Amino acid sequence: MARFATAAKLVALFTLLTAIMTWPQAASIATAAQEHQDVFFNMWRFAWVAHALATSPARLFDGNIFHPEPRTLTFSDAMPVEAFLAAPFLWAGTPPVLVHNLMLLAGIVLSAVGIAVLVRSLTGSLAAGVTAGVVFGFAPYRFEHYMHMELQWTVWIPWTFWALHRTLETGARKFGALTGVFLALQFLSSIYYGVFLATLMGLVAVLLLCELRRPRLTNALAALAAGATLAIVLAAPYATAYLATKRQMGGRSAEQVLTFSAQPSSYTVATDGNYLYGERSARRGRPERRLFPGILAVLLAVVGLLLRPPSAQAIAYLLALAAAFEMSLGAYGYSYSFLYRHVPVFDALRAPARLGIFVVFFLAVLAAWGHAAVETAIPQAWKRVLAVVICGVLLLEYWVAPLRLVPYPNVPPPLYAWLAQQPRGVVAEFPMPVPEALPGDEARYAYMSTFHWMPGVNGYSGYYPPSYLTRIDRLREFPNARSTEVLRSDGVRYVIVHASAYAPDRAGEVLAALSTDPSLTQLGHYNDGRGDAIVFRVR
């Protein structure tokens, strides 16, 4: 019971801290989120999974975007763990923006709680666990990726390491199995993190196994082998769908990997909105490369390594931190370049800089060891003061509030409510982007499709299939006879023109051309949530 009480207190504490650090998200949790196309995409993914599970589970991966492509859900991370957890709320009629924000914030809270539990088991200090939770939960990396749902779900990383340590301590098969289950859950929550976790946890496991002697070594190896087998079995059905998509799409180009590789200087850059460091970072920051972990966390880690002889666990975490840092350099480093060329799964990942969260994770554990080391060197009366001061300074270093949020619709605008009542058909929405200027409004179109569930030729994802890129290139001169033929050949029934998304003079030209096209019939004018939209039917 004491463990559950402690866990409940940690959940309450980090829920409060998350509300403070992401303010005013809690005040507008049902209506607003960060302004980014990925927020629309997150809500589309949640809604599609809930819809597919309720109507045709066998076609779970066949999302209604990029018609007629199959497995469109696998063009990006499907996040099945988050989506399955969100589905009951959506089935119950919970507003989709509220579901989105609850899942987003839950990823932060549960990640912080998990590492706090891990650190307490390693150091015996709950206060040190809270320090680790603050670092892991609120470092600038979190706010750099605040719009990326799957990148907030680091929930299972600390639990995987917790189970690993228990396996090495006891040799028990149940803890080996738990290690595999948590690893699979992380893969099913975020493919990036699952791959990175398997790599770095493997390194830590090897380092810690080296200090074991028989029979503990034999038992631990057998338990971990069973866990690895279980992880593969649990993840295989999901991975198979992605392998099929990878064979169709190919891997990420070396140029993409270079673009999203960190540099050593990236770890000195915070997000633009950071209270202490944002102004300096604004001049140097680039997307995916704002990885500053904070000064105090580094100092605490150094103190922990110097104040008392480091344990084998501390050395393993330090080496894993160095490995994660070097791997995050991607094309600028050695190990990731090797993995990209020789291990197939790595050539499907375009952003090595996302290993920065593992640098933060290992640093958070080392910083907690530093906190625990200082605790043992001071009188009991000062320990609570130490905890408050450390957490206060860390929170100040990571402070970004108030976040800039914008409203998102929870109910369909009149256009999409009307469309939901029409005979089923393929939808095309304009303006469409051109290949060199993606993504335009494609993510918004995807989300709006959740109110009618008709297939659409538009789409937004991590991959853009060749058929889609060819289509939008051929439609760049829309409207003309050629573009009408393209739409007809794609089986399009409804053409939606969002007049407010065009320049006023261009909107008039487009509508005039469409109104004289004998192959189109105008069905009406409707509000699309931002302005006037005109719907045509392809004859």
C-alpha separations of 454 from 46, 60, 65, 436, 498 in Å: 16, 15, 9, 27, 18
Structural domain contains residue 14: no
Residues 438, 433: Cα–Cα separation, whole Å: 6
Structural domain contains residue 480: yes
Structural domain contains residue 4: no
Provide the number of structural domains found in the chain: 2
421 and 383, same structural domain?
A: no
In this prediction, residue 268 carries a pLDDT of 94
Q: How many CA atoms lie within 13 A of 511 on its CB side?
A: 20
Structural domain contains residue 167: yes
286 token code pair: 């680039």
Question: Can you give the residue range of the structural domain that contains 169?
Answer: 20-398
296 token code pair: 């105090």
In this prediction, residue 282 carries a pLDDT of 64
Q: How many C-beta atoms surround the C-beta of residue 477 within 10 A?
A: 10
Residues 54, 163: Cα–Cα separation, whole Å: 34
DSSP 8-state symbol, 378 = S
357 and 460, same structural domain?
A: no
Residues 290, 144: Cα–Cα separation, whole Å: 7
Residues 477, 434: Cα–Cα separation, whole Å: 10
76 and 108, same structural domain?
A: yes
175 and 41, same structural domain?
A: yes
Residues 303, 83: Cα–Cα separation, whole Å: 41
The residue count for the chain: 539
Judge whether 51 and 159 are in contact, CB under 8 Å. Answer: no
Structural domain contains residue 473: yes
In this prediction, residue 247 carries a pLDDT of 86
DSSP 8-state symbol, 433 = P
349 and 235, same structural domain?
A: yes
In this prediction, residue 51 carries a pLDDT of 98
Which DSSP helix (H) or strand (E) runs through 181? helix 173-189
Return phi, psi of residue 498, to 5°.
-90, 95
Residues with Cβ within 8 Å of residue 466, at least 6 apart in sequence: none
441 and 378, same structural domain?
A: no
Sign of CA dihedral 211, 215, 219, 225: positive
Sign of CA dihedral 79, 80, 83, 85: negative
508 and 360, same structural domain?
A: no
Which amino acid would we find at residue 186?
Q
Which DSSP helix (H) or strand (E) runs through 526? strand 520-527
Which amino acid would we find at residue 120?
R
Return phi, psi of residue 35, to 5°.
-80, 105
Judge whether 520 and 493 are in contact, CB under 8 Å. Answer: no
Q: SS3 of 252, please?
A: coil
Out of 364, 398, 432, a domain closes at 398
Kindly give the confidence (pLDDT) of every residue in the chain, 539 residues in length, as a single tens digit, with 9 standing for 90 and above.
Answer: 677 889 999 999 999 999 999 999 999 999 999 999 999 999 999 999 999 999 999 999 999 999 999 999 999 999 999 999 999 999 999 999 999 999 999 999 999 999 999 999 999 999 999 999 999 999 999 999 999 999 999 999 999 999 999 999 999 999 999 999 999 999 999 999 999 999 999 999 999 999 988 888 999 999 999 999 999 999 999 999 999 898 888 888 999 999 999 999 999 999 989 999 988 776 777 888 999 999 999 999 999 999 888 899 999 999 999 999 999 999 999 999 999 999 989 999 999 999 999 999 999 999 999 999 999 989 988 999 999 999 999 999 999 989 999 999 999 999 999 999 999 999 999 999 999 999 999 999 999 999 999 999 999 999 999 999 999 999 998 998 889 999 999 999 999 999 999 988 899 899 999 988 888 999 999 999 999 999 999 98
Out of 369, 398, 427, a domain closes at 398
Kindly write down the DSSP assignment for every residue of 106-126, as one continuous string: HHHHHHHHHHHHHHHHHHS-H
47 and 79, same structural domain?
A: yes
450 and 351, same structural domain?
A: no
In this prediction, residue 481 carries a pLDDT of 86
Beta-strand pair 426-430/492-498: parallel
Structural domain contains residue 180: yes
Residues 353, 290: Cα–Cα separation, whole Å: 9
368 and 329, same structural domain?
A: yes
Q: How many CA atoms lie within 13 A of 506 on its CB side?
A: 12
C-alpha separations of 494 from 64, 249, 450, 491 in Å: 15, 28, 16, 9
Judge whether 391 and 368 are in contact, CB under 8 Å. Answer: no
Out of 398, 433, 459, a domain closes at 398
Structural domain contains residue 381: yes
Residues 480, 467: Cα–Cα separation, whole Å: 20
240 and 113, same structural domain?
A: yes
Structural domain contains residue 65: yes
212 and 130, same structural domain?
A: yes
